[in-house]
Amino acid sequence: MLPKFNLVLDMEDWRLLRIGNIQRRQRRERLRMYRRQLRDTLNPFELREIEFKQLFRMSRRLALDLCEMLSPHLEGQRSNRLPVHTQVLTAIRFFATGGYQRAVGQEFCLAVSQKSVSNCVRSISLLNTPHLSARWIKFNQTFEQREHRKNQFLHATGFHGVIGCIDCTNIAIPRSVVIEVAYFNNNLFQSINVKI
């Protein structure tokens, strides 16, 4: 049998709960201000090119181009909205690492909350299909286009009959106890092979 708790709180208990809530709000506000100050002073685009590529897995130039392309769709009316470059880089960092949102947000060059990481990933993902995919993903629709692509692949690689290619990446997953061997890759960690 579960013990019964006295749900009647006296005034002192209410006062302590209220003080605790106020202190939590103040801590969250201080952390939010600290993150904002950190974001304002640190500019990820000032990193050396090699450091930038290690963090975001793309060049600064490509990241700036993405920011420029997505800027009209990401600028909001709220005064406290994250800058476009922070939104784009936060999503790119998440996609590049496949890590946890909280860990991505707490990195020194981004300094955003887990909720902000989630919002950035969502908004960039939703913009990806209509605004970026149409520009870079092309399917050969006509017979002539397919034949032209086959000839290009033949001359470049020596492979006959190829009209396109895809890439894959290994996304690390927590160790699985169910069919553990099925998820080990050639680098000896468990992952899911994802086609891009």
For 119-156, how does the pLDDT look when each residue is reduced to its tens digit (9 = 90+)? Answer: 888 888 888 767 777 777 777 678 898 898 889 889 98
Same domain? For 121 and 149 the reply is: no
The answer to whether position 30 is within a domain reads no
The answer to whether position 2 is within a domain reads no
Average pLDDT, the chain: 78
Length in residues, the chain: 196
Same domain? For 78 and 109 the reply is: yes
Q: End of a domain among 118, 136, 154?
A: 136
Task: State pLDDT tens for residues 41-84.
Answer: 678 888 889 988 888 888 999 999 988 988 888 776 555 578 88
Question: Domain tally for the chain?
Answer: 2
The answer to whether position 22 is within a domain reads no
196 contacts 165 by C-beta, under 8 angstroms: no
Same domain? For 114 and 54 the reply is: yes
**Single-letter residue type at 85:** H
In the structure encoding, which two tokens stand for residue 4, read together?
Answer: 């019964």
4 pLDDT more than 80: no
Same domain? For 185 and 122 the reply is: no
Q: End of a domain among 117, 136, 155?
A: 136
Same domain? For 53 and 131 the reply is: yes
What burial letters (b/e) apply to 152-171, b meaning 16+ CB within 10 Å? ebeeeeeeeeeeeeeeeebe
Same domain? For 130 and 172 the reply is: no
In the structure encoding, which two tokens stand for residue 67, read together?
Answer: 């920011």
Same domain? For 67 and 132 the reply is: yes
The tokens 């099925």 sit on which residue?
182
pLDDT at 120: 86
3-state secondary structure the chain: CCCCCCCCCCHHHHHHHHHHHHHHHHHHHHHHHHHHHHHHHCCHHHCCHHHHHHHHCCCHHHHHHHHHHHHHHHCCCCCCCCCHHHHHHHHHHHHHHCCCHHHHHCCCCCCCCHHHHHHHHHHHHHHHHHHHHHHHCCCCCCHHHHHHHHHHHHHHHCCCCCCCCCCEEEEECCCCCCCHHHHECCCCCEEEEEEC
The answer to whether position 149 is within a domain reads yes
Same domain? For 48 and 131 the reply is: yes
Same domain? For 121 and 63 the reply is: yes
121 contacts 91 by C-beta, under 8 angstroms: yes
Q: End of a domain among 110, 136, 162?
A: 136
Same domain? For 132 and 161 the reply is: no
The answer to whether position 76 is within a domain reads yes
In the structure encoding, which two tokens stand for residue 69, read together?
Answer: 């392309």
> What is the span of the domain harbouring residue 67?
42-136
The answer to whether position 177 is within a domain reads yes
Task: State pLDDT tens for residues 88-99.
Answer: 888 888 888 777
Average pLDDT over residues 161-181: 77
Same domain? For 166 and 127 the reply is: no
164 pLDDT more than 70: yes
Same domain? For 79 and 159 the reply is: no
pLDDT at 92: 86
